[in-house]
């Protein structure tokens, strides 16, 4: 029975690609799993493998052909697989190289995943940037890498350690290129032993080095949380200020895309509840860079929470030789007068999107990016509240004992007189994150929910 081999889709959104290379010729017999061809798109090279055994009949599309449509017949195969063989007898093999996406997950989700959509609304320019500074557009991923590289160049006590950070170039490619530049002494691949290497990093900091400990994701830092809290956070205090612990724990935090309950959690509130820690959770690339540099230079232990879905987003970063931001300062990313939306990390993008919608309805929202979760910039929150008299918090995380709860408390304790409406929290649903696409979408915050809360505090719903 002749089978048709069709141009495979590398991702559900792929429409066409280049048939880069045939690895078989007409008349070759192949067995299931053999690599037949290499397919290229602008993003990646993919191997195309046989699912059935059989003999390659005719090669219909020669190698080097560009713009081959997905589903187009590229070759025929005389199969032995019987009539149950699927019509497309090939399967996509391992994706070979998606720049910056050599991660565990694989690829962007079809359609519109709940949080992955890049919002159109950009944060306003940071007043910290001097007038007239040239800006360069970079991804958050690159900004983080640049921050580490710059600090490693200027301070030889700084080194990076973690799972897959060196040879693999980072599970999420954040440490890309660091091994090449700094070598294996300063870019260290660890085994999968979070508790152990977090302890080693903490101890190295106590002994005078400046470790950056990468967790593949913060979900795995739960294996290591004892060292972050008991060893790193409390040492300075317990030693009466004698023994410092200038370590940075960094990695992606919060929900990613369809990876289920054990891999999707926001630890911001956990770490932010611990005295002795600095907790930073930036949104855009300029903050990621300026704050990571500040974190590395800090004498205190820092938990630096990134977000996988934001790594690939591009923002402007000032072209300055040494762009370092102050820790503990929030930033107004959109000025407004009717209602304040406080947020951090990925929530900022959603808050900005919500603000755009609200503007269309005549509600002028101010958006505040907390940037640092501990110490929290109370003054910025209260000043904005004094201006708008209404406040909501948008947080990609559970509502109970959250950063949102903390902000509500601050408003009650110190901003009560300025309130014209109750402060509202817009958080994820209070459940472990489900895998099913529809349920995941329901569980996570989105711009419409922020819009609804803003309308409510403006009594416009």
Partner 1 sequence: MAKPASKSTARKSAPAKKAAAPKSPAEDLDFVLHSLQEEHAKSPRYKAKDEELLKLYEQMLLIRRFEERAGQLYGLGLIGGFCHLYIGQEAVAVGLQSALTEGLDSVITGYRDHGHMLAYGIDPKVIMAELTGREAGISKGKGGSMHMFSTEHRFYGGHGIVGAQVSLGGGLALGHQYRGDGGLCLAYFGDGAANQGQVYETMNMASLWKLPIVFAIENNQYAMGTSTARSSAETEFYRRGTAFRIPGMDVNGMDVLEVRQAAEVAFRHVREGNGPVLMELNTYRYRGHSMSDPAKYRTREEVQDQREHNDPIERAKKELLERGKSEDDLKDIDKRIRAQVSESADFAENSPEPEPAELYTDVLVESY
Ligand X SMILES: Cc1ncc(C[n+]2csc(CCOP(=O)(O)OP(=O)(O)O)c2C)c(N)n1
Q: Which residues sit at the interface with partner 1, rule CB under 8 A?
A: 8-12, 32-33, 35, 51, 80-86, 88, 91-98, 101-107, 109-110, 163-164, 167-168, 171, 189, 191-193, 195-196, 219-220, 222-223, 256-263, 429-432, 434-439, 442-443
Separation of alpha carbons 442 and 433, rounded Å: 10
Question: Using CB atoms, what's the residue nearest to ligand X?
Answer: 220
135 binds, among partner 1, ligand X, none (CB under 5 to 8 A by kind): none
Separation of alpha carbons 75 and 77, rounded Å: 7
CB of 45 to ligand X, least distance (A): 23
224 binds, among partner 1, ligand X, none (CB under 5 to 8 A by kind): none
CB of 385 to partner 1, least distance (A): 32
CB of 26 to ligand X, least distance (A): 37
386 vs 436, beta carbon nearer partner 1: 436
Separation of alpha carbons 249 and 231, rounded Å: 13
CB of 193 to partner 1, least distance (A): 5
Applying CB under 6 A, which residues contact ligand X?
A: 163, 192, 194, 216, 220, 223
Tokens linked to 429? 């649903």
Beta bridge partners of 302: 248, 278
CB of 167 to partner 1, least distance (A): 7
CB atoms within 10 A of CB 360: 9
Tokens linked to 32? 């299931």
| Exposure string over 186-219, b if 16+ CB within 10 A, otherwise e | bbbebeeebeebbbbbbbbbbeebbbbbbbbbbb
382 binds, among ligand X, partner 1, none (CB under 5 to 8 A by kind): none
Tokens linked to 385? 């509240």
11 binds, among partner 1, ligand X, none (CB under 5 to 8 A by kind): partner 1
263 is catalytic: yes
Q: What is the DSSP string of 31-64?
A: -TT-EEEEEE-SS-EEEEEESS-EEEEEE-S-TT
326 vs 432, beta carbon nearer partner 1: 432
40 vs 189, beta carbon nearer ligand X: 189
357 binds, among ligand X, partner 1, none (CB under 5 to 8 A by kind): none
- Sequence-ordered list of residues with C-beta below 8 angstroms from that of 126, at least 6 positions apart, any chain: 286, 287, 318, 325, 331
Q: Alpha-carbon torsion 159, 163, 166, 169, what sign?
A: negative
The number of angstroms, rounded, from the C-alpha of 461 to the middle of its chain's C-alpha atoms is 33
Among residues 163, 263, 395, 406, the one annotated as catalytic is 263
Task: Identify the residue whose tokens are 């989700």.
Answer: 109
418 is catalytic: no
Residues 406 and 272 sit within 8 Å (Cβ to Cβ)? yes
Residues constituting the chain: 461
CB of 297 to ligand X, least distance (A): 28
86 binds, among ligand X, partner 1, none (CB under 5 to 8 A by kind): partner 1
163 vs 395, beta carbon nearer ligand X: 163
Among residues 151, 164, 194, 308, the one annotated as catalytic is 194
318 binds, among partner 1, ligand X, none (CB under 5 to 8 A by kind): none
Q: How far is CA 21 from CA 35, 39, 73, 128, in A?
A: 11, 7, 15, 51
Name the DSSP class of 241: T
84 vs 131, beta carbon nearer partner 1: 84
The number of angstroms, rounded, from the C-alpha of 189 to the middle of its chain's C-alpha atoms is 21
33 vs 64, beta carbon nearer partner 1: 33
Separation of alpha carbons 400 and 15, rounded Å: 43
196 vs 399, beta carbon nearer partner 1: 196
CB of 198 to ligand X, least distance (A): 11
The catalytic residue positions are 194, 263
């Amino acid at each position: 029975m002749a089978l048709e081999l069709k141009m495979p889709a590398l991702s559900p959104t792929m429409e066409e690609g280049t048939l880069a290379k045939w690895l078989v010729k007409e008349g070759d017999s192949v067995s299931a799993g053999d690599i037949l061809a290499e397919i290229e798109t602008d993003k990646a090279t993919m191997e195309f493998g046989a699912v059935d055994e059989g003999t390659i009949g005719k090669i219909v599309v020669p190698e080097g052909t560009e713009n081959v449509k997905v589903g187009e017949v590229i070759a025929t195969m005389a199969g032995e697989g019987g009539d149950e063989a699927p019509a497309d007898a090939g399967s996509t093999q391992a994706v070979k190289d998606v720049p910056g996406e050599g991660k565990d997950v694989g690829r962007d989700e079809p359609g519109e995943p709940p949080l992955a959509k890049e919002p159109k609304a950009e944060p306003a320019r940071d007043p910290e940037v001097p007038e007239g500074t040239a800006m360069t557009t970079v991804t958050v991923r690159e900004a983080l890498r640049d921050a580490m590289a710059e600090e490693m160049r200027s301070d030889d006590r700084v080194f990076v350690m973690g799972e897959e950070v060196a040879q693999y170039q980072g599970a999420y490619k954040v440490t890309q290129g660091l091994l090449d530049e700094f070598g294996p002494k300063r870019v260290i691949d660890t085994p999968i032993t979070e508790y152990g290497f977090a302890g080693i990093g903490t101890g190295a900091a106590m002994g005078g080095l400046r470790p950056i400990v990468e967790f593949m994701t913060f979900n795995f830092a739960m294996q290591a949380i004892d060292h972050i809290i008991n060893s790193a956070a409390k040492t300075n205090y317990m030693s009466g200020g004698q023994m410092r612990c200038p370590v940075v724990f960094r990695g992606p935090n919060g929900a990613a895309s369809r990876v289920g309950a054990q891999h999707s959690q926001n630890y911001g509130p956990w770490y932010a509840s611990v005295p002795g820690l600095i907790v930073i959770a930036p949104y855009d690339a300029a903050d990621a860079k300026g704050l990571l540099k500040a974190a590395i230079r800090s004498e205190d232990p820092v938990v630096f929470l990134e977000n996988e879905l934001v790594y690939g987003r591009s923002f402007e970063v000032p072209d300055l030789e040494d762009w370092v931001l102050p820790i503990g300062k929030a930033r107004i990313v959109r000025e407004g007068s009717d209602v304040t939306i406080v947020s951090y990390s990925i929530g900022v993008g959603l808050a900005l999107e919500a603000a755009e919608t609200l503007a269309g309805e005549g509600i002028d929202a101010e958006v505040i990016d907390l940037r640092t979760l501990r110490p929290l910039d109370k003054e910025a929150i209260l000043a904005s509240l004094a201006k708008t008299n209404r406040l909501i918090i948008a947080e990609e995380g559970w509502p109970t004992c959250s950063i949102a709860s903390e902000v509500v408390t601050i408003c009650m304790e110190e901003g009560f007189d300025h309130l014209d409406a109750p402060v509202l929290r817009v958080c994820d649903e209070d459940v472990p994150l489900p895998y099913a696409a529809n349920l995941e979408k329901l569980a996570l915050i989105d711009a419409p929910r922020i819009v609804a809360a803003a309308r409510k505090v403006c009594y416009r719903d």
